[in-house]
Amino acid sequence: MRFLVTLALGALFLVPLSATAALRALPEGQLPNDVRLAPPKDLNGYFPFAVPTSKEAWAARAEFVRRQVLVAEGLWPMPTKTPLNAVIHGKIDKGEYTVEKVYFESAPGLFVTGNLYRPKGKTGKVPAVLFAHGHWKDARLSEATPEATRREIASGAERFEEGGRSIFQSMCVQLARMGCVVWQWDMLSDSDAIQFSAQTVHRFAKQRPEMNVAENWPLYSPQAEANLQSIMGLQTLNAVRSLDFVLGLAEVDPARIAITGASGGGTQTILLSAIDPRVTLSFPAVMVSTAMQGGCTCENASLLRINTGNIEFAALFAPKPQGMTTANDWTKEMSTKGFPELQALYKFLGAPNNVMLHRGEHFPHNYNSVARAGFYNWVNQHFKLGLPAPVVERDYERLTREQLTVWDSSHPAPKADDADFERKLLKWLKDDADKQVSAAASSPENFRKVVGSGVEAVIGRTLITTGEVEWDRKDKKIAGNIVEMSGLLRNKTHGEEIPVAWLYPKQWNGRAIIWLDDTGKAALYNADGSVRAEVKQLVDSGATVLGADLFYQGEFLKDGQSAKQNRVVANPREFAGYTYGYNHTLFAQRVHDVLTLVKY
Containing 268, the helix (H) or strand (E) segment is helix 264-275
Count the neighbouring beta carbons within 10 Å of the beta carbon of residue 459.
16
Q: What is the pLDDT of residues 25-44, one digit of tens each?
A: 999 989 999 999 999 999 99
Q: Residue 19 above 70 pLDDT?
A: no
Domain for residue 374, yes or no? Answer: yes
What count of residues does the chain have?
Answer: 600
Both 219 and 79 in one domain: the answer is yes
pLDDT at 564: 74
Both 483 and 424 in one domain: the answer is no
pLDDT at 268: 98
Both 279 and 196 in one domain: the answer is yes
The mean pLDDT value for 197-217 works out to 93
Torsion angle (degrees, nearest 10) of CA 131, 135, 139, 144: -120
The sign one gets for the Cα dihedral 137, 140, 146, 148 is positive
* Structure confidence at residue 559 as a pLDDT band (50, 70, 90): confident
Q: Omega of the bond prior to 218 within 30 degrees of 0, cis? A: no
The mean pLDDT value for 223-235 works out to 98
Both 423 and 468 in one domain: the answer is no
pTM score over 0.75 = yes
Per-residue DSSP letters for 543-582?
A: -EEEEE--TTSGGGS-TT---SS----S-SS--HHHHHTT
pLDDT at 480: 83
Q: Which of 385 and 17 is assigned the larger pLDDT?
A: 385
| Residue 501 β-bridge partners | 486, 547
* Structure confidence at residue 561 as a pLDDT band (50, 70, 90): confident
Q: What are phi and psi of 591, to 5 degrees?
A: -60, -40
Q: Of 383, 414, 434, which residue sits at a domain end?
A: 434
Domain for residue 96, yes or no? Answer: yes
Q: What are phi and psi of 555, to 5 degrees?
A: -70, -5
Q: Which of 39 and 18 is assigned the larger pLDDT?
A: 39
pLDDT at 562: 74
* Cα distances (Å, whole numbers) of residue 495 to 150, 386, 498: 54, 53, 10
Q: Residue 377 above 70 pLDDT?
A: yes
Q: What is the pLDDT of residues 131-171, one digit of tens each?
A: 999 899 999 999 999 999 999 999 999 999 999 999 999 99
Q: What are phi and psi of 355, to 5 degrees?
A: -130, 140
Look up residue 459 and give its amino acid. I
Mean pLDDT of the chain: 94
Both 481 and 558 in one domain: the answer is yes
* Structure confidence at residue 565 as a pLDDT band (50, 70, 90): confident
Both 419 and 545 in one domain: the answer is no
Both 111 and 220 in one domain: the answer is yes
The mean pLDDT value for 527-533 works out to 91
Contacting residues for 191 by C-beta, under 8 A, at least 6 apart? 113, 138, 139, 140, 141, 405
Domain for residue 452, yes or no? Answer: no
| Residue 485 β-bridge partners | 476, 502
Domain for residue 39, yes or no? Answer: no
Q: Of 392, 419, 434, which residue sits at a domain end?
A: 434
Per-residue DSSP letters for 58-124?
A: HHHHHHHHHHHHHHHTT-SSPPP------EEEEEEE-SSEEEEEEEEEEETTEEEEEEEEEESS--S
Both 93 and 185 in one domain: the answer is yes
Domain for residue 257, yes or no? Answer: yes
pLDDT at 23: 82
Both 93 and 18 in one domain: the answer is no
**Lowest-confidence range among 76-80, 304-308, 482-486?**
482-486
Q: What is the pLDDT of residues 237-249, one digit of tens each?
A: 999 999 999 999 9
* Backbone region of residue 90 per phi and psi (left: phi > 0; alpha: psi in -120 to 50; beta: other values): left
The percent of the chain in helix, strand and coil, each rounded to the nearest 5, is 35, 20, 45
How many structural domains are present in the chain?
A: 2
CATH number at 324 reads 3.40.50.1820
Q: Of 419, 434, 449, which residue sits at a domain end?
A: 434
The mean pLDDT value for 108-136 works out to 97
Both 330 and 429 in one domain: the answer is yes
* Structure confidence at residue 106 as a pLDDT band (50, 70, 90): very high
Both 425 and 566 in one domain: the answer is no
* Structure confidence at residue 563 as a pLDDT band (50, 70, 90): confident
Domain membership of residue 538 as a residue range: 4-34+462-599
Share of the chain above pLDDT 90, in %: 91
Q: Residue 21 above 80 pLDDT?
A: no
pLDDT at 22: 61
Containing 447, the helix (H) or strand (E) segment is helix 444-447
pLDDT at 368: 97
CA 139/CA 119 separation, integer angstroms: 22
pLDDT at 354: 99
Taking each continuous run of H as one helix and of E as one strand, the counts in the chain are: 17, 15
* Structure confidence at residue 560 as a pLDDT band (50, 70, 90): low
- 339-348 vs 55-72: helix crossing angle, rounded to 10: 120
pLDDT at 14: 35
The mean pLDDT value for 262-275 works out to 98
pLDDT at 8: 53
Domain for residue 321, yes or no? Answer: yes
Share of the chain above pLDDT 70, in %: 96
pLDDT at 362: 97
Domain for residue 21, yes or no? Answer: yes
pLDDT at 208: 86
Both 428 and 481 in one domain: the answer is no
Q: Residue 395 above 70 pLDDT?
A: yes
Domain for residue 448, yes or no? Answer: no
